[in-house]
Amino acid sequence: MRKLFGTDGIRGVAGEYPLDRRTVYAVGRALGHHLPSGVRRLVIGQDTRESSAWITDLLSAGLRDTGAQVESAGVITTPGIAHLTHTHNFSAGVVISASHNPWQDNGIKIFGPDGYKLPDRTELEIEEEIFTQLNSSATAPEMCDTSSLPGNATLRDDYASWLARSISSGGPIKTVVDCANGAASNLAPQVFRQCGISADFIHNSPNGRNINEKCGALHPEVVAGEVASRKTDLGISLDGDADRALFADHGGKVVNGDAIMLLLARELEQHGHLANNLVVATTMSNMGLEAALSRSGIQMLRAPVGDKYVLEEMKKSGAVLGGEQSGHIILSELATTGDGLLTALKVIEIMARTGKPLTELVSDLKVFPQIIKNVRVLEKRPLDQIPAVQSAIDAAQRDLDGTGRVVVRYSGTEALARVMIEAESRTKMELHATAIAEAIQRALG
């Protein structure tokens, strides 16, 4: 059983285990030992949290102590590192980021030489080596020279240029982009400028502690309000590491990842690029998406929550499009992971080509009412082994009986249990979501 890696790398409070100095250094040494023999080159990038610099330097020190060569791309998005890893023939890529989490948190994400996140088996092997390092006499350096890894602007420019080449035209679409004071704060303006897209940028002044703070993909209503007040055609909300994006239409209505998957699926199908007429979503995607895709002759498969699991199902089924309601969208013919900027550019390209607003392009998506309750937990015991919780879940499933769905799971990145219920009846939805959440609270809260 994994003790360090969650659904998206190692994550926690910066300075506390497993992101204390000794463990971060051990992660660097373990990763360095795991790399194949020969020339071992890694690229590392970071988001804008104040802890990202020292974590980057300490991890790099551990890597270099094993003989690995480390090159920094500086502040860059997670998908930027994934792209650079495989296009520049690095042995691995590392991102220091906690994505949508608050500034106090941070994380370590690792990509293999192919630009894909590591499979669970490989993460377990690295975990074992990390614990071996922690049990040895190796200790973290007292100080790290933060000037030892200056960001290579050429690497960031290469990624920005690739993004700009990914679309034919941005047309006359006027856009407002919320950068969440995160990794895209400088990159997004560069990319949109290269594409010739008219855009205003907000929350692009990071100070180390304002990443995701009342902005970005966690608060898409912010950019929706800006769209309405500025009278732009589109709003885009990125998260801290810009691996996902949410949108707002010209009327200021939030548009989530389900609607964007519908839009992209139809675009790919129209041009003969939707392999096997398949889309991979997750257990959290709305039943309305499945119905809308079906009307277009497109089948939807569901994977567990987490973009790495979406990608695994895409590889297994041969699908080229997958994603999450939260805005992670994977276009596997172009990228190896979710990329918020790439998704945004593709949406703009479709709007420009068709001359239609986003709201019209997804107008037939009829969303079933859905509620999500988060319960903070002290431990993550198997829910099916807690009789009161399982009883509440069973009661909800019996009552809904084909007119809704119940999904109860633990967050892979936080100490939370998530209760999601989707149903035609809002009354039943509220009733059962509350009952299940209260049962979890009593047992684990």
pLDDT tens column, 281-314: 998 899 899 989 999 999 999 999 888 899 999 9
CATH number of 255-339, picked from 1.10.645.10, 3.30.1540.20, 3.40.50.10420, 3.40.120.10: 3.40.120.10
Q: Of the candidates 150, 128, 129, which has an alpha carbon nearest to the alpha carbon of residue 66?
A: 129
Q: Which DSSP string do the residues of 171-231 spell out, in sequence order?
A: TT-EEEEE-TTSTTTTHHHHHHHHHT-EEEEES----SS-TTTT-GGG-HHHHHHHHHHHT
**Active site members:** 99
The domain ranges of the chain are 5-154, 155-253, 255-339, 370-444
pLDDT in tens, 115-170: 999 988 999 999 999 999 998 876 777 655 544 456 789 999 999 999 999 999 88
* One CATH from 3.40.50.1820, 3.40.120.10, 3.40.1010.20, 3.40.50.300 for 155-253: 3.40.120.10
Report, at the CATH architecture level, how domain 5-154 is classified: 3-Layer(aba) Sandwich (3.40)
Scan for tokens 């020969």, then name that residue. 38
Distance CA 392, CA 379 (A): 19
Q: What would the pLDDT profile of 341-368 be if each residue is shown by its tens digit?
A: 999 999 999 999 999 999 999 999 988 8
Q: Which residue has the tokens 């010209």?
A: 250
Residue 36: is the preceding peptide bond cis (ω within 30°)? no
Q: Is the pLDDT of residue 320 over 60?
A: yes
pLDDT of residue 2: 58
Percent of the chain with pLDDT over 70: 97
CATH of domain 370-444: 3.30.310.50
How confident is the model over 199-236, as pLDDT tens digits?
999 999 999 999 999 999 999 999 999 999 999 999 99
Which stretch of 43-52, 57-66, 393-402 has the lowest confidence by average pLDDT?
A: 393-402
SS3 content of the chain, % helix, strand, coil (to 5): 40, 20, 40
DSSP per residue, 280-297: EEETTS-HHHHHHHHHTT
Instruction: Name the CA radius of gyration of the chain, rounded.
Output: 22
Same fold, 5-154 and 370-444: no
pLDDT at 403 over 90: no
Do residues 124 and 102 make contact, with C-beta atoms less than 8 angstroms apart? no
Q: How far is CA 294 from CA 7, 282, 382, 423, in A?
A: 29, 16, 34, 19
